[in-house]
Amino acid sequence: MKGIHSIFLACFLVSAFACFLASAFDPSPLQDFCVAIDDPKAGVFVNGKFCKDPKLAVADDFFFSRLNKPGNTNNRVGSNVTTVNVDQIPGLNTLGISLVRIDYAPYGENPPHTHPRGTV
């Protein structure tokens, strides 16, 4: 009986160690926010965008107001996707956050698609 307990303990330790080796995650952001701008002379390049000087960030850098408006679903798939990502809200840059509003016509569908890297 003692030998079985030792085998279970050994298996548990080996699997716990394997889980420890296999863990993966995106690194935590190095700063609270990085408001994206397109001017290469204006700041530091992070996550495919340049960061605005944090002292110049304003509330509008974190605001988007069109999600209350339905998209036109009069198209081939009968749906309309309104995306909200760093291109609409520059303050989302590096935060790993994006969202969409999807409007469906009756019998509309969301065609198969992918989400590479999860967010943009």
Ligand X SMILES: *[C@@H]1O[C@H](CO)[C@@H](O)[C@H](O)[C@H]1NC(C)=O
72 binds ligand X per the rule CB under 6 A: yes
80 binds ligand X per the rule CB under 6 A: yes
103, 49 Cβ separation under 8 angstroms: no
Backbone angles phi, psi at 27, to 5 degrees: -65, 150
84 forms beta bridges with: 99
Backbone angles phi, psi at 19, to 5 degrees: -60, -40
Q: Determine the Cα–Cα distance for residues 105 and 49; give it in Å rounded to an integer.
A: 35
Looking at residue 114, its amino acid is T
Is 48 or 70 the residue whose CB approaches ligand X more closely?
Answer: 70
What does the per-residue mask of binding to ligand X show for 28-47, with x meaning CB under 6 A?
A: --------------------
- Of 71, 85, 88, 101, the residue at the interface with ligand X (CB under 6 A) is 71
75 binds ligand X per the rule CB under 6 A: yes
Residue nearest to ligand X (CB): 71
Binding residues (CB under 6 A) for ligand X: these are: 71-72, 75, 80
